[in-house]
C-alpha cells in the first residue's frame, strides 16, 4: 500500500507546483504592467482595464489548463496504482488458496492416518482382552458385527467363509450379511461341504475316506439352493436401494475330510474366526466339528496369528480352486489333453 500512496503524493505535489507557478506569474504580470504604467513605458492602451483583463484571463486559462493536466496525471496514477494493487491482491489470493488446499490435503491425510491408527489400536486392544478365549459361532458373528461397525462406512468388506454343511450356520450368518450390505459393499466367497460336489477328492484320486460322522452330515438338509437364493435376494434388494451397499458373491462346494473351518476377513481389516474339526476322544470314533472352539484372530502381527490365518487360507484356496465352475474345468481338461 505504501507505493500507491507515494504515487498519489507525487501527483499532488506536481499539481500544487503548477498552481503556485501560475499564481506567481499572474502577480508578476500585474506588477510589471503597473510599473510600466507608472514609468510611462506603456501607452494608455496597455494600461487599459480591458487589456489587464485579457492578460489576467490568459493567465487564468493557462492555470486551468495546467490544473486539468495535473488532474489527468493524478487520475492516471491512481488508476495504475489500483490496477497494480488488484493484480497483487489476485496473486496473493491465489497463493493463499494453494496454501489452503495443501493444508486441507495434509489434514485429510492426517485424519485418515489417525482413523487407521485408531482401528489398529482397537484391534490390538480387543486381541489382548480376548487372548486365550474361545468363541461360539454366535459369539464370533456378534463380535464381527462390532468390528465392522467400527470400520469406515463405504469400505468394501471381503469375507471368505470356509463352511461345513451350513445346516445351522447359515441361519446365523445370513442376518449378518444383510446388515453388512446395508452399510457398505460386500464381497463374499462361500465354500460348503456337500455330497456330490464337483472336484471332490475320492480315495481313487488320493483322497481320504470320510469319517462316518461326516457321511451322516452329508445326508442332512441340503442348504445350497436356499443359500444361493437368499444371497440373490440380498443382492437384488441392495441394487434397488441404490445406496452405498452392494453384494458380490460366489458359492462353491467341496467334498473332503474337513479339517478347519471358519470366517476370514481380508478387508477393510484382517481378522478371522477359526475352528478345527477333531476326533472326540470321549466318543471315539466320533468326529466333531468344534462347535464352541473358534479362535479369534485379529491381524497377522505375531507368528501364532499368521499361522492360523495361513492354515485357514490354505484349505480354503485348495478347495476353492479345485472346484472351478464347470466351463473352467472343462477348458482345463481340454488344455491338459492337448498338452
Q: What is the DSSP letter of 41?
A: -
> Is the predicted pLDDT of residue 30 greater than 70, yes or no?
no
Helices (H) and strands (E) in the chain, counts: 8, 9
CA distance 166 to 252: 12
Give the whole-angstrom CA distance, residue 288 versus residue 292. 11
The pTM of the full predicted model, rounded to 2 decimals, is 0.58
Torsion of CA 133, 124, 140, 194, to 10 degrees: -100
Lowest mean pLDDT among 77-86, 260-269, 330-339: 330-339
Give the mean model confidence (pLDDT) for residues 291-298.
89
- What's the pLDDT score for residue 52? 58
Measured CA to CA, the distance from residue 271 to residue 141 in angstroms comes to 12
pLDDT at 4 over 90: no
> Would you state the pLDDT for residue 99?
85
Please state whether beta strands 157-162 and 185-193 pair in parallel, antiparallel, or not at all (unpaired). parallel
pLDDT at 209: 76
Residue 194: closest CA among 257, 262, 260, 253: 253
Determine the angle formed by the axes of helices 169-183 and 137-150, rounding to 10 degrees. Answer: 10
Tell me, what's the pLDDT at 232?
A: 96
- For residue range 173-182, list pLDDT tens digits in order: 999 999 999 9
Amino acid at each position: 500500500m505504501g507505493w500507491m500512496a507515494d504515487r498519489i503524493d507525487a501527483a499532488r505535489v506536481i499539481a500544487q507546483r503548477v498552481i503556485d507557478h501560475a499564481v506567481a506569474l499572474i502577480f508578476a504580470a500585474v506588477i510589471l504592467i503597473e510599473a510600466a504604467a507608472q514609468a510611462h513605458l506603456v501607452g494608455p492602451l496597455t494600461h487599459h482595464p480591458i487589456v489587464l483583463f485579457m492578460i489576467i484571463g490568459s493567465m487564468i486559462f493557462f492555470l486551468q489548463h495546467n490544473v486539468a493536466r495535473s488532474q489527468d496525471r493524478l487520475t492516471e496514477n491512481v488508476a495504475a496504482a489500483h490496477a497494480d494493487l488488484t493484480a497483487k491482491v489476485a496473486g496473493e489470493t491465489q497463493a493463499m488458496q494453494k496454501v489452503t488446499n495443501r493444508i486441507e490435503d495434509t489434514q485429510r491425510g492426517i485424519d485418515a492416518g489417525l482413523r487407521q491408527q485408531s482401528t489398529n489400536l482397537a484391534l490390538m486392544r480387543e486381541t489382548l482382552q480376548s487372548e486365550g478365549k474361545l468363541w461360539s459361532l454366535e459369539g464370533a458373528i456378534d463380535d464381527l458385527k462390532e468390528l465392522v461397525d467400527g470400520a469406515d462406512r463405504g469400505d468394501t468388506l471381503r469375507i471368505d467363509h470356509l463352511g461345513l454343511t451350513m445346516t445351522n450356520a447359515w441361519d446365523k450368518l445370513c442376518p449378518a450379511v444383510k446388515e453388512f450390505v446395508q452399510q457398505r459393499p460386500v464381497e463374499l466367497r462361500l465354500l460348503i461341504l456337500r455330497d456330490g460336489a464337483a472336484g471332490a477328492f475320492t480315495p481313487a484320486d488320493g483322497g481320504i475316506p470320510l469319517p462316518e460322522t461326516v457321511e451322516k452330515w452329508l445326508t442332512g438338509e441340503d442348504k445350497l439352493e436356499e443359500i444361493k437364493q437368499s444371497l440373490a435376494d440380498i443382492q437384488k434388494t441392495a441394487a434397488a436401494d441404490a445406496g452405498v451397499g452392494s453384494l458380490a458373491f460366489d458359492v462353491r462346494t467341496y467334498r473332503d475330510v474337513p479339517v478347519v473351518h471358519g470366517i476370514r476377513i481380508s478387508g477393510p481389516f484382517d481378522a478371522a474366526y477359526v475352528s478345527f474339526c477333531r476326533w472326540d476322544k470321549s466318543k471315539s470314533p466320533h468326529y466333531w466339528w468344534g462347535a464352541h472352539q473358534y479362535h479369534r484372530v485379529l491381524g497377522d502381527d505375531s507368528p501364532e496369528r499368521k499361522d492360523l490365518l495361513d492354515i485357514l487360507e490354505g484349505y480354503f484356496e485348495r478347495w476353492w480352486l479345485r472346484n472351478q465352475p464347470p466351463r473352467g474345468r472343462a477348458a482345463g481338461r481340454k488344455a491338459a489333453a492337448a498338452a
